[in-house]
Amino acid sequence: MTDSMLPILRAMYDASTEAERAEILLRCPVNIMIKYRHVMERACERAAFVAGTEYLLCFFAALHEVRHRGDIKGAALRHAQGRLLLICDEAAP
């Protein structure tokens, strides 16, 4: 039996630390996040990764806002992204 899940989604499910999950969320292509939103959300919920769940909520909410000069805006999204970056930085050697 072969695994038909995209490698980045499989990595999200197989990640063993919050830092690994945060890194995946921060580098995942937007089109994959949109298409597989429910998979990403389920992976965060399954791992009780609250910071990831909050990031996804803020990310998708920001996609529905009017952009400013081409940028996705939103203080909540920047805050959630900052939390993920802190998680990554704290785990770095």
- The domain limits of the chain are 7-91
Residues in Cβ contact with 69 at an 8 Å cutoff, skipping those fewer than 6 apart: none
Residue 2 pLDDT level (bands cut at 50, 70, 90): low
pLDDT at 1: 46
Q: What is the pLDDT of residues 17-67, one digit of tens each?
A: 999 999 999 999 999 999 999 999 999 999 999 999 999 999 999 988 887
Stretch 5-27: mean pLDDT, rounded?
Answer: 95
pLDDT higher than threshold 50 for residue 73: yes
Per-residue model confidence (pLDDT) at position 93? 74
Tokens of 57: 């909520």
Q: How confident is the model at residue 70 (pLDDT cuts 50, 70, 90)?
A: confident
DSSP per residue, the chain: ----S-HHHHHHHH--SHHHHHHHHHHS-HHHHHHTHHHHHHHHHHTT-HHHHHHHHHHHHHHTSPPBTTB---HHHHHHHHHHHHHHHHH--
Provide the angle, in degrees to the nearest 10, between the axes of the packed helices 37-46 and 18-27: 170
- pLDDT value of residue 72: 77
